[in-house]
Amino acid sequence: MRGYRGVKYTLFIFCYFLWVVSAVLIVVGIYAKVAKEKDVVDTLTVDPALLLIIVGSVMFLITFLGCFGALRNATCLLKTFLAFLAVILLLQTAAGVVGYLFTDMVMERTEKLMMKAIVRYREDQDLENAIDFIQKKFQCCGVEDYKDWSHNIYFQCLDTNPSLEACGVPFSCCIHLQNQTVLNTMCGYGMQQLGEPLARQNIFTIGCLEKIIWWAKNNLLLVAGLSGGLLLLEVCMMSLAAAQISWIRKVQRQKKEPAAVKSGRKDSLWYPAFADFDDD
């Protein structure tokens, strides 16, 4: 029983922790969604708030099954929880294999997705903050280079563009000095009109896609550790759920065996009388 309780409550603690995390994701996503302008058209691929709500909801459902299935010894909930985890694990494995075998296609799709985000830069505050964070963090600008910002109507480098930011780039592309205390949000104005040698003196000119790939290659241990840790957690939870299901079935069989023995004893008391009749 100690081993069973250890399996049961370990699974419950894992699921409960992830259940709370999923609830936080949903709350943050809903708050960001409500705080947005109502006329903004959202899509899953470039809307962080919508993505948080969907991921949080899926996590909430799955961890709910595991949490209450473990606590109430409900084999039906545990089997459903196990099936969901198995499907997620297979999808992650398939995504990794596809990403490895079709690297060029994945890179092309990623580039299109990032370019779509640049086009909607000013339309979504959450997306704008996410892009600014990435460009500051990885010290990059645009997807392939800083002139990708010409795809955005506010930064488009055309004589007919009335925007004050025409031919410019966001301030997150700018190179900030360590002793700079005042943020100059106009530092990227007109940078697309300059050649790369001159522009790189004031802004980051390398695209974010290249910088992210470079970062991943130089931090393979960290990326592999995070990926491996996630897969290990899923496998561990699947093993705990399978062990608890097996234990519950074993206990149920043990409870049925004494009842079957008692029933057999009652039948044996009547059997001799019918045995003589059958022999005749």
On whether residue 227 sits in a domain, the answer given is: yes
On whether residue 191 sits in a domain, the answer given is: yes
**CATH number of the domain where residue 119 is located:** 1.10.1450.10
On whether residue 3 sits in a domain, the answer given is: no
On whether residue 86 sits in a domain, the answer given is: no
On whether residue 196 sits in a domain, the answer given is: yes
On whether residue 208 sits in a domain, the answer given is: yes
Whole-number Å distance between alpha carbons of 87 and 107 = 25
On whether residue 66 sits in a domain, the answer given is: no
Number of folded domains that form the chain: 1
pLDDT of the chain along its 280 residues, tens only? 667 788 889 999 999 999 999 999 999 888 887 876 554 545 545 577 788 889 999 999 999 999 999 988 899 999 999 999 999 999 988 988 888 888 888 888 889 999 999 998 988 888 898 899 999 999 999 999 999 999 999 999 888 889 889 999 999 999 987 776 777 888 899 999 999 999 999 999 999 999 999 998 888 888 888 888 989 999 999 999 999 999 888 888 887 766 555 555 544 443 343 334 344 4
The closest alpha carbon to 240, from 6, 2, 1, belongs to 6
Range of the domain at 183: 104-243
On whether residue 70 sits in a domain, the answer given is: no
